[in-house]
């Protein structure tokens, strides 16, 4: 109802519909005030939180400016002017931080406290009175309804008195509650004005006090200082603009000059010829890393030469790491299946091989020439460029791709006229003798004039192919190394031990002795050195099956047995001292220890070579124990047979004794007086059969005595 600003307390007892309608208007107004006050409270709370955050941030800024002297900047020198300026700013901001702290306290007292009191105390009190009034009104309605249902008869005066008392109590409670409720609603119309104005008044007074405090403490004292700092900032900005202009001009000039360098391959080789006289080089290359048995990955790294070493450094790394030693190393261009411009660096001992890829053919040839120059230690001479120019021809030969693996293999096979010496076969591969050949001198462990076999020949030769067709039952795979290739059906069926290893065949050669502990190490050294000199890097992969009877090399694709080594011919097995993936074993010829002919086989495995050697040793132990058990079983069988034979002889002897006793009884019966008279005076007459039995008994007795 317009124009009404308060509820009539005098009409609370009557509780008319008009009064209830007017009460509803005041309740709607109270709900609107509560909603608006809540929103205003949230806004003022954000102001207060922001002021607290500003005060804390200002204090943190001041503390950081004071700690500038303690910082260690990699590119910043000892700038005393900058340090003193920041210290001055730290003092100013510290004072501002104090002012902000005072402002936060004033906002908490003058702005947040009044509106919080109004929201938490006055509005909640009205809501509580509203609930109490609603309960009292419902109780009064129930009491009136109960009173109206009383009967006209005066039979139950006690019930009537109770109902009247209930109506009296509920009406009194409703009246009192309604009066207090009306009073609170009327008071709210005044409190809402003060609750809205007091926080705003406190906010403005706090802001005025803050600005007045800042004006008194900062304006007069820091105007000259701020002006000087502003002039310095303008000068620094002007210098920065000049420097940016010069850098932009440099960028444009370099873009025009380096346009031809953006392409990885130079279209005009004459425009940028290959420099073959370098002793130092750096740049990005791809390096090949092995990730599995047959898989590999390429990683782009920054490579550079440092003295006689090849170094690599990844992005983000502070220093480079050693890749390989280039002194007396070899380098050559290689053909990779999936990459172009590749070259390979092999260490002097042949233990480490690094495959790299350049961006262009020019880069590839320059890297090869540089590594060749470093390998010959040209970088140690005074005039390295002149010396590098003299060996330019040899560097070009190193760039030339090497012959195929099959050609190298055919060139290293012994001729029909006789076995070619190992030193002469090595020197015939290159165009001129290499200085590394002197290191590969043969000693007493290796048989002289012995060729090295680098690959496994197919187990079935062309000569035997026709025979295998005509006689499939008697066909047998030939063994190119001279070992006994005889295999039985039960070769490994009943074997206790079955262990499979993935190995790659490096080579084999004949050795003078199989008993020496250094024969395998010496064979490894010579085979690896020969592979490095002949540039042989391909290896035949096989599965090595270790059983209690033999060692088998199995083709992983066709599962065909390439080679079979009886376990009894394996004399010793050893892994490399440094490279644990290398291992080898020595086989004595099947003719026995009297024949001094022995072969040493060298392999590379994916696992630890010591594990394979331990497995072979375990197989030999199991085979030894099996042989001992077999001999023990045979001995036991012989003893059992002897015992059985003894039992049979004893049973025969007992049977003979029984027969002798029977015969003795018969002989005793026959030795009585012939035809004794009977009781009736007649004579007893023996029949012919009884006489024959007595004769047979005597003969059996004599025969038994002779046998006994």
Please report which helix (H) or strand (E) contains residue 23, including its range. helix 17-66
The dihedrals phi and psi of 612, each to the nearest 5 degrees, come to -65, -40
pLDDT at 675: 47
Pick the CATH number of 17-70+79-151+159-217 from 3.40.640.10, 3.90.1300.10, 1.20.1270.60, 3.40.50.720: 1.20.1270.60
Q: Distance (Å, rounded) from C-alpha 451 to C-alpha 95?
A: 92
Rama region for 559: left / alpha / beta (φ>0; ψ in -120 to 50; rest): left
Q: What is the CATH number of domain 498-625?
A: 2.30.29.30
Task: Give the CATH class of 282-381.
Answer: mainly beta
Coil, strand or helix at 425: helix
Q: Parallel, antiparallel, or unpaired for β 540-546 and 499-511?
A: antiparallel
Q: Do domains 282-381 and 498-625 have the same CATH topology?
A: yes
DSSP annotation of 375 reads H
End-to-end C-alpha distance for the chain, whole angstroms: 153
Give me the long-range contacts of 458-461 (CB less than 8 A, separation at least 24): 458/562, 459/560, 459/561, 459/562, 459/563
pLDDT at 270: 63
Say what angle helices 17-66 and 80-107 make with each other, to 10 degrees: 160
Cβ–Cβ under 8 Å, residues 312 and 302 = yes
Please report which helix (H) or strand (E) contains residue 566, including its range. strand 561-566
Q: Distance (Å, rounded) from C-alpha 571 to C-alpha 598?
A: 9
Per-residue 3-state assignment (H helix, E strand, C coil) for 612-674:
HHHHHHHHHHHHHHHHHHHHHHHHHHHHHHHHHHHHHHHHHHHHHHHHHHHHHHHHHHHCCCC
Question: Can you list the residues of the chain whose pLDDT is less than 50?
Answer: 1-4, 394-443, 458-493, 674-694, 696, 708
pLDDT in tens, 439-485: 333 445 665 567 888 887 644 333 343 443 333 333 333 343 433 43
pLDDT at 135: 92
pLDDT at 535: 66
pLDDT at 631: 87
Give me the long-range contacts of 673-682 (CB less than 8 A, separation at least 24): none
pTM summary value: 0.38
pLDDT at 256: 81
* Residue for token pair 């802001």: 207
Residues 6 or more apart whose Cβ sits within 8 Å of residue 157: none
pLDDT at 484: 40
Two tokens at 366? 């320059």
Going from N- to C-terminal start, the domains of the chain cover 17-70+79-151+159-217, 282-381, 498-625
Q: Distance (Å, rounded) from C-alpha 7 to C-alpha 21?
A: 11
pLDDT at 204: 92
pLDDT in tens, 667-683: 888 876 544 444 444 44
Per-residue 3-state assignment (H helix, E strand, C coil) for 90-136:
HHHHHHHHHHHHHHHHHHHHHHHHHHHHHHHHHHHHHHHHHHHHHHH
Bridge partners, 499 (sequence order) = 546
pLDDT at 292: 77
Distances (CA, A) of 57 to 43, 70, 379, 564: 21, 20, 60, 82
pLDDT at 480: 39
């Amino acid at each position: 109802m317009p124009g009404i600003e308060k509820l009539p307390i005098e009409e609370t007892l009557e509780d008319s519909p008009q009064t209830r309608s007017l009460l509803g208007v005041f309740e709607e107004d109270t709900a609107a005030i509560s909603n608006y006050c809540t929103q205003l409270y949230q806004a003022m709370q954000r102001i207060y939180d922001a002021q607290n955050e500003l005060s804390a941030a200002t204090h943190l800024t001041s503390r950081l400016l004071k700690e500038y002297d303690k910082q260690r900047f990699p590119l910043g020198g000892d700038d005393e002017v900058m340090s003193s300026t920041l210290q001055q700013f730290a003092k100013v901001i510290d004072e501002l931080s104090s002012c902000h702290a005072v402002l936060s306290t004033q906002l908490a007292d003058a702005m947040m406290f009044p509106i919080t009191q109004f929201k938490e105390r006055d509005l909640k009190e009205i809501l509580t009175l509203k609930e109490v009034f609603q309960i009292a009104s419902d109780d009064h309605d129930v009491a009136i309804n109960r009173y109206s249902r009383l009967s006209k008869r005066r039979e139950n005066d006690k019930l009537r008195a109770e109902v009247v008392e209930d109506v009296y109590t509920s009406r009194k409670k409703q009246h009192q509650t309604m009066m207090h409720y009306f009073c609170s609603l009327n008071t709210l119309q005044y409190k809402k004005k003060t609750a809205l104005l007091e926080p705003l008044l406190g906010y403005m007074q706090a802001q005025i006090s803050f600005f007045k405090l800042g004006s008194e403490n900062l304006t007069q004292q820091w105007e000259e200082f701020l002006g000087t700092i502003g002039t310095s900032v303008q000068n620094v900005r002007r210098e920065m603009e000049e420097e940016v202009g010069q850098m932009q001009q440099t960028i444009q000039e370099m873009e025009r000059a380096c346009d031809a360098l953006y392409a990885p391959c130079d279209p005009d080789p004459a425009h940028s010829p290959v420099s073959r006289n370098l002793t130092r080089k750096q740049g990005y290359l791809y390096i090949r890393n092995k990730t599995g048995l047959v898989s590999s990955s390429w990683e782009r790294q920054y490579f550079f030469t440092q003295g006689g070493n090849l170094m690599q450094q990844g992005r983000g790394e502070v220093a480079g790491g050693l890749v390989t030693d280039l002194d007396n190393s070899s380098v050559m261009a290689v053909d990779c299946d999936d990459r172009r411009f590749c070259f390979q660096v092999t260490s002097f001992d042949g233990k480490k091989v690094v495959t790299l890829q350049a961006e262009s053919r020019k880069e590839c040839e320059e890297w090869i020439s540089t590594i060749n120059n470093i390998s010959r230690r040209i970088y140690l001479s005074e005039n390295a460029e002149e010396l590098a120019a003299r060996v330019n021809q040899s560097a070009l030969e190193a760039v030339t791709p090497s012959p195929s693996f099959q050609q190298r293999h055919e060139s290293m096979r012994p001729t029909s006229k006789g076995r070619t010496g190992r030193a002469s076969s090595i020197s015939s591969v290159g165009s001129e003798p290499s200085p590394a050949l002197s290191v590969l001198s043969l000693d007493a462990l290796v048989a002289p004039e012995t060729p090295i076999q680098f690959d496994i020949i197919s187990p079935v030769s062309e000569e035997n192919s026709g025979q295998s067709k005509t006689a499939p039952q008697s066909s047998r795979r030939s063994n190119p190394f001279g070992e006994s290739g005889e295999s039985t059906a039960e070769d490994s069926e009943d074997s206790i031990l079955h262990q499979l290893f993935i190995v790659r065949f490096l080579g084999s050669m004949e050795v003078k002795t199989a008993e020496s502990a250094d024969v395998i190490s010496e064979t490894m050294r010579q085979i690896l050195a020969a592979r490095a000199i002949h540039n042989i890097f391909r290896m035949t992969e096989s599965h090595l099956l270790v059983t209690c009877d033999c060692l088998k090399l199995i083709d992983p694709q066709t599962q065909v047995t390439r080679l079979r080594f009886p376990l009894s011919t394996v004399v010793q097995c050893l892994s490399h001292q440094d490279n644990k993936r290398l291992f080898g074993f020595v086989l004595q010829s099947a003719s026995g220890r009297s024949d001094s002919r022995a072969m040493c086989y060298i392999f590379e495995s994916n696992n630890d070579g010591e594990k394979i050697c331990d497995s072979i040793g375990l197989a030999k132990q199991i085979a030894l124990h099996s042989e001992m058990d077999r001999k023990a079983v045979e001995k036991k069988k012989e003893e059992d047979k002897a015992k059985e034979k003894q039992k049979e002889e004893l049973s025969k002897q007992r049977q003979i004794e029984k027969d002798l006793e029977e015969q003795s009884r018969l002989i005793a019966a026959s030795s009585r007086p012939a035809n004794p008279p009977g009781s009736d005076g007649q004579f007893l007459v023996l029949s012919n059969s009884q006489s024959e039995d007595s004769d047979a008994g005597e003969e059996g007795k004599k025969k038994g005595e002779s046998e006994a």
